[in-house]
Structures are given as C-alpha cells and as structure tokens.
C-alpha cells in the first residue's frame, strides 16, 4: 500500500518562540540519557543529509543540512503503530521537502511540502483514518527526508538522509511501569529501555503543558546530549500543539 499526501502541515508554531536551551534542572531530569551505542567504525554519520551538486541553489548553509534526530546507531525503536518522526530542517525558502517511509522494499507513505524558510526541529506524524499505514511489530522500516530544488528533476536532489525505525512490543513489565508513571517518568522509562522515538514524543508533549514546559525542555536537552546531538538543543522546536503553548 502506498499513501501520498501533499498537504502536509509543516510546523509553523515555535514553542514560545525560544530556542531549546539547556535549563537548570533537578538531578533526575539531568540524568535522563539514552543507552550508549556500539563503538563507531569511522563510517560517515548517516543521520546527516548528504549534499549533491548545486547546493547554492537551495540556499542552504553547507554546514547545516537535514539531519535525523536519531541515536548514534541511526536505528530508532518505537512501540507505536503510527509514531512521530523528527529531523532538523535548515533554513531555506527554496525547494520541496519530501518524506518517505518504506518497508520490505515497498514505498508505504510519501508526503511533500514547500520549504518555508524556518530553521528548526520538524515533527511528522503518520496519518490515521482510511489508508493509514501501521508499523508492524518486529519489522524494520526505512524513513528518509530529501530537500529537492526542482521536483520535476530527480537529479536536482541536494540533500537527503535516511534512518531506520523498528517497532517492538512493549514488555509486560514496562507496560505496568508506564501505567503509573508521570509524563516525565514515561519519557525516562522509554529512554532507559532504548525506545528512542517514544521518548522524544513524550518530551515534546510535555513542552505543550505549561506546568511541565521547563522540565520537558530540560529533559529534551539532556536526552539529545546523551547521543551527541548537543547542537540541536539550541534549535527551536517547530510544531503545532493541540494546546495553547505560550
């Protein structure tokens, strides 16, 4: 099954219009981290978008290309059938951004939208309803983002990265812990169990809760630092909360 969406709602509200800076926080929050990945073999970081010719046409800073917000291994786990995906979007007013999800060599979902000049952390949720794509437990999927300056010319793709996501069943023990945990503790539990995507999503949800915003930002910063993504703690989160984030 292949789902195409062209009217993607690209992240237009900045949470409080501030950068995600490291905040003074309690020891529990400061300790939120992700399990260390296996030692790198010196190969390029596949989380970062690889550039091709004509970079200046997209007016993108060569040091700032699309980048998957993923752990060192570039493999993320989720327990959700329709998880959220996160990546860094550089500031460019030229070009089309294309998101793809593939499984078993088949294109399952594709959406595209125009770059709007904003720099920030993008969040994309798989749609629900008729034709929705559900990730199956025990399977591996590939997701990718491209920045294309000319949608009618495949050769014009300037930046592209790919990452892997696997869905797994929640263990009975973790399910029991999550049921009685606070929102922040749920994010910590997901991180402790190596479930990257769910931890990120929980922390973003916290940032939409005025009472938990500071804790959510601090925990987000700590989690990114634990996988050598400290640069992105200074980048604003782009998105549209279901609540009123002020």
Q: Decide: residue 82, CB within 10 A, 0-12 exposed, 13-18 middle, 19+ buried.
A: middle
Confirm whether 41 is domain-assigned: no
Tally the domains of the chain.
Answer: 1
User: Which domain covers residue 91, as residue numbers?
Assistant: 3-34+46-236
User: For position 210, which CATH number holds?
Assistant: 2.60.40.1930
Confirm whether 14 is domain-assigned: yes
Identify the pLDDT of residue 27: 35
Confirm whether 242 is domain-assigned: no
Confirm whether 246 is domain-assigned: no
Confirm whether 75 is domain-assigned: yes
pLDDT along the chain (246 residues), means of 10: 40 30 36 56 48 55 80 93 93 86 95 88 86 91 89 72 95 95 92 94 87 87 90 80 44
Identify the pLDDT of residue 241: 53
Confirm whether 39 is domain-assigned: no
Identify the pLDDT of residue 137: 95
Q: Which residues lie below 8 Å from residue 22, measured CB to CB, with a gap of 6+?
A: 218, 221, 222, 225, 233
Confirm whether 241 is domain-assigned: no
Exposure letters 198-218 (e unless 16+ CB within 10 A, then b): bbbbbbbbbbbeeebbebbbb
Confirm whether 143 is domain-assigned: yes
């Amino acid at each position: 099954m292949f789902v195409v969406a062209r009217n993607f709602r690209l992240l237009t509200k900045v949470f409080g219009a501030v950068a995600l800076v490291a905040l003074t926080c309690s020891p529990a929050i400061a300790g939120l981290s992700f399990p260390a990945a296996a030692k790198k073999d010196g190969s390029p970081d596949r989380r970062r978008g690889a550039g091709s010719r004509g970079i200046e046409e997209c007016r993108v800073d060569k040091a700032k290309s699309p980048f998957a917000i993923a752990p060192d291994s570039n493999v993320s786990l989720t327990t959700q059938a329709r998880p959220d995906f996160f990546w860094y979007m550089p500031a460019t007013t030229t070009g089309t951004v294309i998101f793809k999800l593939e499984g078993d060599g088949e294109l399952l979902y594709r959406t595209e939208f125009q770059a709007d000049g904003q720099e920030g952390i993008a969040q994309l949720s798989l749609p629900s309803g008729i034709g929705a794509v559900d990730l199956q437990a025990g399977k591996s999927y590939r997701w990718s983002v491209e920045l294309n300056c000319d949608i009618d010319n495949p050769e014009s793709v300037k930046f592209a990265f790919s990452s892997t996501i696997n869905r797994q069943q929640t263990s009975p023990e973790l399910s029991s812990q999550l049921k009685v945990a606070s929102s922040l503790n749920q994010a910590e539990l997901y991180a402790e169990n190596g479930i990257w995507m769910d931890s990120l999503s929980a922390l973003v949800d916290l940032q939409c809760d005025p009472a938990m915003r500071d804790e959510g930002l601090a925990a987000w910063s700590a989690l990114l630092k634990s996988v050598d993504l400290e640069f992105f703690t200074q980048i604003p989160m782009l998105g549209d909360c279901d609540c009123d984030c002020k």
